[in-house]
Chain A
Amino acid sequence: MALLRLREVSKRYGACRALHKVSVEVTSGGFYLFRGPNGAGKSTLFRCAMGMERPDSGVVEVDGTSIASNEYYQQVLKKYRPSYLGPDHALYAHLSVEENLLLRAQLSSREDAKGVTADCVERFSLSVFAKKRLSECSQGMQRRAALAACFVASPSIVFLDEPFVNLDTVSAELMQQELLSAHALGVTVCLATHASNIELPSEAKTVRLDQGKVCS
């Protein structure tokens, strides 16, 4: 059964139609690449899938049940620990990189949060910056920290919206590797990007969007 299903989801912002009757199915453990020109609706699709926004019409279902109800949505968050990486880094500027990751891990009720955080700092080569306050880090480091925060809570599904923007080659490679290894471990990956030279696993599926509609 599909882990996540969007049925005929429509969303508009004022007079601008971002999504029009979009239906997408995401199965557990899959790797999905979302492509489309700017304004195609990829970001809106991710935000609706994450429950950050409510669609104007249509349903977003996880495990067959709509996430419209707050109680079920909380259950889904606890069970699947979905992660989202968007244009904002979604971290606290006054906390250090390590403190941010530790907070994320602890709030997600991870056992051995300290160990998981230390491991994450290693994996994403953040050791030099671990104790630095986020506001003192460069933008590239902030993006890397944001990516680390995405994976620190061992999510079952991740949504990455244009993650390769403003990344240096080292960070981009780290990101690439992390995506592939996460997928190998069974994490469902949904990636929206314009970048063309990405290494994809063989079973990756591509979903094309244009003007708020899915193109076949």
Chain B
Amino acid sequence: MSSFLLLCQKDLRYLIRARGVALSTFGFALLLTLVSSFAFRQVGYSQQEMAEITPGILWLIFLFSGVIALGNGFSYEVENSAIRGPIFSGTDPSVFFLSKFVSNFLFLASLQLFVLLAHGVLFGIEYFGVFGELLLLALLGGMSFVALGTLFSAIAASLPGKDILLPLMLFPLSIPPVAGSVFLMRQVLLEQSYQWTDFWFLLLLGSCAISTVLSWALFAYVVRE
């Protein structure tokens, strides 16, 4: 088995065996959805207005639960210096990054799917026609977020105050892809079409590409002194 698959298997095993960690992250996302249903529903928005603010609410939930998932994803590597094993076995740091990125992305994707469903139920929004498109846009935004987040979680893991440092580094730099994702999701919910060549869509794709390439290239410097 290639190193990449071996490392992914190691991450998957962590998610399954340290079940509590994964479950509590989903629980936290559910809690945030519930809280936001109180925070926004009470104000008596119309269906149209809800469609306008829904993408923003969704992304707030993705960001907060996502940052916790990312932090957990690297903290067990630094515990007892476990990451030393793969690194000194001669694994390419870029391969290590890719495996971490893929594991984190798959976890965030399942989190986003879960939140979209829970949100639809709690807020009574009918997503049926557009669910696929919404999920795709959420995933595209999530890809930039996870690429940068994987790199920054590696940086923050060995520093004091890692829990606050990770969102502090990650959130400002995630604003362009998140803003793009929110804008396009709003277009979809308001049944307005958008083109592949639209600025926001290109920005979303561009952010994915730039974040992933930069994080992949710079990861080696984070792992080795």
Q: Is the CB of B10 within 8 A of A74?
A: no
What is the CA–CA distance of A149 and B86 in the complex, to the nearest angstrom? 11
For residue B43, CB closer than 8 A to chain A, the reply is no
Tell me which residues from 150 to 186 in chain B have a Cβ below 8 Å from any Cβ of chain A: none
Q: Which residues of chain A are within 8 angstroms of B220 by Cβ–Cβ distance?
A: 70
Q: Which residues of chain B are within 8 angstroms of A94 by Cβ–Cβ distance?
A: 13-14, 17-18, 76
Q: Is the CB of A90 within 8 A of B18?
A: no
Q: Which residues of chain A are within 8 angstroms of B24 by Cβ–Cβ distance?
A: none
Q: Is the CB of A103 within 8 A of B92?
A: no
Whole-angstrom distance between the Cβ of A56 and the nearest chain B Cβ: 11
For residue B88, CB closer than 8 A to chain A, the reply is yes
Q: Is the CB of B225 within 8 A of A107?
A: no
Q: Which residues of chain A are within 8 angstroms of B224 by Cβ–Cβ distance?
A: 51, 70, 73
What is the CA–CA distance of A53 and B224 in the complex, to the nearest angstrom? 8
The residue in chain A whose Cβ has the minimal distance to the Cβ of B7 is A107
Tell me which residues from 30 to 54 in chain A have a Cβ below 8 Å from any Cβ of chain B: 50-54
What is the CA–CA distance of A165 and B13 in the complex, to the nearest angstrom? 31
Whole-angstrom distance between the Cβ of B3 and the nearest chain A Cβ: 6
What is the CA–CA distance of A51 and B84 in the complex, to the nearest angstrom? 12
Tell me which residues from 85 to 115 in chain A have a Cβ below 8 Å from any Cβ of chain B: 86, 88-95, 99-100, 103-104, 106-109
For residue A132, CB closer than 8 A to chain B, the reply is no
Given contacts A92-B76, A93-B80, contact A83 B85 (CB under 8 A): no
Whole-angstrom distance between the Cβ of B6 and the nearest chain A Cβ: 6
What is the CA–CA distance of A83 and B18 in the complex, to the nearest angstrom? 28
Q: Which residues of chain B are within 8 angstroms of A126 by Cβ–Cβ distance?
A: none
Tell me which residues from 77 to 128 in chain B have a Cβ below 8 Å from any Cβ of chain A: 79-82, 84-86, 88-92
The residue in chain A whose Cβ has the minimal distance to the Cβ of B78 is A88
Given contacts A70-B220, A94-B13, contact A89 B80 (CB under 8 A): yes
**Cβ contacts A to B, 15 pairs, < 8 Å:** A51-B224, A54-B225, A73-B224, A77-B88, A82-B88, A88-B81, A88-B84, A91-B80, A92-B82, A103-B6, A107-B7, A107-B86, A107-B90, A108-B89, A149-B85
What residues of chain A have their CB less than 8 Å away from a CB belonging to chain B?
50-54, 70, 73-74, 77-78, 81-84, 86, 88-95, 99-100, 103-104, 106-109, 133, 149, 153
